[in-house]
DNA sequence: ATCCCGAGGG
DNA sequence: CCCTCTGGAT
């Protein structure tokens, strides 16, 4: 995509959704961190179902530690990877209490030092909780960036760096959510809905999937 | 490169 | 049945 096409790409996504937000449910920076940590290889809907059970039981790092591994696992069991997520979350809470006064740290280095928190999760927290123009490249953004030709790359980090170069600064703060929502609802992994895609005319992908016929 | 790992959709 | 879901640690 040319710079002019990229500008149009985001202008169209912005027009369709002027104020995009995460679909994860949270009421504090800590709850956001927990929700994003739990969201690895899980759907937002599934994470919300679990945190509706978990957060009333524990809304702070100390409360999470008091809850304990058994009850934490029970609360999040419907998500995949629950054993390692529960263990990492408690290790993270221990560090938050001991080293950060129970607060969520605001630097990439401190965030990535938390067990279960990698580059993508740190980028989401920096963007959503602290308003920094980071680009968290998840499965949706990786797919959309490569499929459309917006920012092709072999690894999530390569795509992230290319997006930071190519996305106009004006769109950078919300580009993350526009791309996620586009990937989740239109540019889907298995069956992209090209026939109802507002940016299909800017897309490199050769297979412009036709609309399903109505079998009349 | 492999493991983790349940729910939902096709 | 198979694939996918806002990945990270080993």
Strand C nucleotides, any atom under 7 Å from protein beta carbons: they are 3-9
CA distance A28 to A25: 10
Claim: this prediction has a pTM higher than 0.75: yes
Distance (Å) from CA A215 to C1' C6? Answer: 36
Torsion of CA A14, A19, A25, A28, to 10 degrees: 130
CA contacts within 13 A on the Cβ side of A105: 19
Contacts of A166 (CB under 8 A, 6+ apart): A1, A3, A6, A150, A151
Query: Are A75 and A63 in contact, with CB atoms under 8 Å apart?
Result: no
Which residues 11-70 in chain A have a CB closer than 7 A to strand B? 41-43, 45-46
Tell me, what's the pLDDT at A150? 98
Question: What kind and span of H or E run contains A7?
Answer: helix A3-16
Which residues 95-124 in chain A have a CB closer than 7 A to strand C? 114-122, 124
Torsion A6-A8-A10-A12 (CA) sign: negative
CA distance A65 to A60: 9
Query: Are A66 and A58 in contact, with CB atoms under 8 Å apart?
Result: yes
Q: Please list the pLDDT of chain A residue by residue as tens digits (216 residues).
A: 999 999 999 999 999 999 999 999 999 999 999 999 999 999 999 999 999 999 999 999 999 999 999 999 999 999 999 999 999 999 999 999 999 999 999 999 999 999 999 999 999 999 999 999 999 999 999 999 999 999 999 999 999 999 999 999 999 999 999 999 999 999 999 999 999 999 999 999 977 666 676 554
- The binding site of A consists of 187, 194, 197, 203
Tell me, what's the pLDDT at A216? 42
A208 noted as active-site residue: no
Tell me, what's the pLDDT at A213? 64
Torsion of CA A184, A155, A128, A20, to 10 degrees: -30
CA distance A7 to A5: 5
A138 noted as active-site residue: yes
Tell me, what's the pLDDT at A207? 73
Tell me, what's the pLDDT at A206? 77
- Whether CB of A157 is under 7 Å from strand C: the answer is no
- The binding site of A for [4Fe-4S] cluster consists of 187, 194, 197, 203
Residue A157: phi and psi, rounded to 5, are -65, -40
Angle between helices A119-128 and A29-38 (to 10 degrees): 150
In this complex, the nucleotide whose C1' atom is nearest to the CA atom of residue A116 is C8
Domains of chain A from N-terminus onward: 3-19+135-202 (1.10.1670.10), 29-128 (1.10.340.30)
Q: Which of A44, A49, A77, A138 is catalytic?
A: A138
């Amino acid at each position: 995509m040319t710079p002019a096409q990229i500008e149009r790409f985001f202008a169209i996504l912005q027009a369709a959704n002027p104020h995009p937000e995460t679909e994860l449910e949270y009421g504090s920076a800590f709850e956001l961190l927990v929700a994003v940590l739990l969201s690895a290889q899980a759907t937002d809907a599934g994470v919300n179902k679990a945190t509706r059970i978990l957060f009333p039981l524990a809304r702070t790092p100390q409360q999470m530690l008091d809850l304990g591994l058994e009850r934490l696992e029970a609360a999040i069991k419907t998500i995949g990877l629950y054993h390692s997520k529960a263990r990492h979350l408690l290790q993270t809470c221990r560090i938050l209490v001991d080293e950060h006064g129970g607060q969520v740290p605001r630097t990439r280095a401190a965030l990535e030092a938390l067990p279960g928190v990698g580059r993508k999760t740190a980028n989401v927290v920096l963007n959503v909780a602290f308003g920094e123009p980071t680009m968290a490249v998840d499965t949706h953004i990786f797919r959309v960036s490569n499929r459309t030709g917006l920012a092709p790359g072999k690894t999530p980090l390569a795509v992230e760096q290319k997006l930071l170069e190519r996305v106009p600064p004006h769109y950078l703060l919300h580009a993350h959510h526009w791309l996620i929502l586009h990937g989740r609802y239109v540019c889907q992994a298995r069956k992209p809905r090209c026939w109802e895609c507002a940016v299909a005319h800017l897309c490199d992908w050769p297979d412009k999937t036709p609309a399903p016929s109505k079998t009349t």
